[in-house]
Amino acid sequence: MQPKTPDWMDIANEKVGPAGRPDLKAIRDTRWISPHTENMSDFSREELKAHLQNQDLKVDVRLKDFESKVSDGLTQMNHSLQLLEKDLSAFRGIKATILINSIVSVIAIVGIVIGVMAYGVSSFDSGRETSIIVQELKQQNAETRYLLEQIKAKQSQ
């Protein structure tokens, strides 16, 4: 006996499974379950109020849990920020130190430049004064030689 080939309409209507055997679920669904549901019972006001209060309590509990988690998170963040601020407090002094060292370096460089210029000017002035002194000494030397020659000339006469 060969198995019966499935009728595609039966498969589409879910009465027969793809292997050609009857789909028990489809049969069970159509045989024992009524297509219509029974009418819902009406809630009384007290039942509805109690149900809504129960839901409100659940929401309040969830909200308090969420608030506590947020509060814990903010506390941890605040603690972390305090630790970070404590770690960075050492760097605040470094900024002032760098600024002061920069200013002192600029002042030292300006002082060195002024000192070199003063040394150059003093050397120039001393050179100029030296040349004046040398000229005066030459002139005195010439005068002394002239006087010596006159003295020698008088002595030889």
State pLDDT tens for residues 45-100: 888 889 999 999 999 999 999 999 999 999 999 999 998 888 877 777 787 788 89
Cα distance between residue 136 and residue 86, in whole Å: 76
**Distant-in-sequence, close-in-space partners of 51: CB < 8 Å, separation ≥ 6:** 43
**Domains of the chain: which residue ranges?**
1-34
**pTM, 2 dp:** 0.34
**Distant-in-sequence, close-in-space partners of 16: CB < 8 Å, separation ≥ 6:** 6, 7, 10, 22, 23
